[in-house]
Amino acid sequence: MHIADGALSGPVLIAGGVLSLAGLGIGLRKLDMETIPATGVLSATFFVASLIHFPVGASSVHLIMNGLAGLVLGWAAFPALAVALLLQAIFFGFGGVTVLGINTFNIAAAAVLMHYLCRRGIMANSPSIAAMWGAAAGAGAIVVTTVLVALSLALSGEQFIPAAQVTVLVHIPVMIIEGAVTAAAVYLVRKVKPELFTAISNPRGETRHG
């Protein structure tokens, strides 16, 4: 869901850059030696998942997996996704350097929001219920990112409003797919390695109850 260079107005680019820097600052403070491996894996997951994409106006359609990144990483999703976006811009020309800030914010902010909305749900005693919350996080992250991308385009000029509307419509199938994939991932993790979901919010390994 990368916005291309040259599509957005200066104020939108500046706002996106400032918000992303704030998110990066918080996210970097959340990282430690225990959480870096998961951050690297999810950064790579986003990098690979979004390589296969289809241009749609000034944006593109592809899998993101930012819902899963948010569930596992919380605020650390900002540095994880920023690194992947930077590498894609440099090596493949996806998005671009000038829109790196706004692209990072649109994708990572949705991840963090899903972390707070769905985190308790994926820690439910039943893996099946956890998977349902995972589906909500996966689909919800795409909804939020799509709305933010559409808003970024609409705020950059009336000529981008039709593209913003199309962006929302073409991402409906992606919402369904990401919801299903994230649900499956959450179910598997809850069965095999449930402590993965406590790595960021409980980095020192204290036992939590409730």
b or e along 156-172 (b: 16 or more beta carbons within 10 Å of the residue's beta carbon)? beeebeebbebbeebbe
Is-contact 20 102, C-beta < 8 A?
yes
How far apart are the C-alpha atoms of 101 and 124, rounded to whole Å?
Answer: 35
Encoded amino acid at 173, one letter = P
How far apart are the C-alpha atoms of 105 and 20, rounded to whole Å?
Answer: 5
Q: H/E element holding 60?
A: strand 59-61
How far apart are the C-alpha atoms of 4 and 95, rounded to whole Å?
Answer: 4
Domain 10-201 CATH assignment equals 1.10.1760.20: yes
Global pTM reads 0.85
**pLDDT value of residue 109:** 97
Encoded amino acid at 150, one letter = A
Is-contact 59 18, C-beta < 8 A?
no
Tens-place pLDDT, residues 83-121: 999 998 888 777 788 899 999 999 999 999 999 999 999
**pLDDT value of residue 59:** 56
Query: CA separation (Å) from 98 to 106, 153, 158?
Result: 14, 15, 21
**pLDDT value of residue 202:** 54
Tens-place pLDDT, residues 3-24: 777 778 899 999 999 999 999 9
How far apart are the C-alpha atoms of 82 and 24, rounded to whole Å?
Answer: 8
Residue 52 DSSP code: S
